Amino acid sequence: MFLTDLLRPKTLAHAHCDLPCGVYDPEQARIEAESCYKIIEKYNASNDDQFKTRAIVIKEERAELAKHHIDVLWSDYFKPEHVQKYPEITELCWKAAKQCSKVKGSLDIGDARTLIDMIDKIDEVWTKAGGPQATRVAKAAARA
């Protein structure tokens, strides 16, 4: 064993920060969840084993991305004052993130549908909390 191994810290702490671009939208998670939904549809309609294998791999990636986007919304966008005003948001995000894990391992289209519906509930809170105005860059038509 080298001396550096002995001295290496056992605990990791974060001192650096996210660079907060400030753009947060549940739509990002929804698009990934929609991908899962459509992939399961295509998987069930196919008889091609190679295609089905690829479909499973890609669905798992998409479900993981959906989970990431939900985590970012919860940890970076929703602030204590939002939680105070809309206390349901913590459970909505928590359950939706868990549903992403379920969709990862599932080929039941109902699980993907449930995930989309859960993200829509998060979207309702995000909209009530002023998300569209606070976080998105306006389209050209809206600026004119």
**Segment interacting with another protein, rule: CB under 8 A, options 29-37, 53-61, 73-81, 108-116:** 73-81
Helix orientation angle between 109-128 and 49-72, rounded to the nearest 10 degrees: 20
Residue 26 neighbours by CB under 8 Å, 6+ apart: 69, 70, 73, 119, 120, 122, 123, 126, 131
Instruction: Please state whether 123 falls in left (phi above 0), alpha (psi between -120 and 50) or beta.
Output: alpha
Query: How far is residue 51's CA from residue 41's CA, in Å, rounded to a whole number?
Result: 12
Among 3, 5, 6, 18, binds another protein (CB under 8 A): 18
17 binds another protein per the rule CB under 8 A: yes
Among 44, 48, 53, 76, binds another protein (CB under 8 A): 76
Among 1, 3, 6, 15, binds another protein (CB under 8 A): 15
3 binds another protein per the rule CB under 8 A: no
DSSP, collapsed to helix, strand or coil, labels residue 80 as helix
Among 1, 3, 6, 19, binds another protein (CB under 8 A): 19
User: Contact positions toward another protein, by CB under 8 A?
Assistant: 7-9, 11-20, 74-76, 79-80
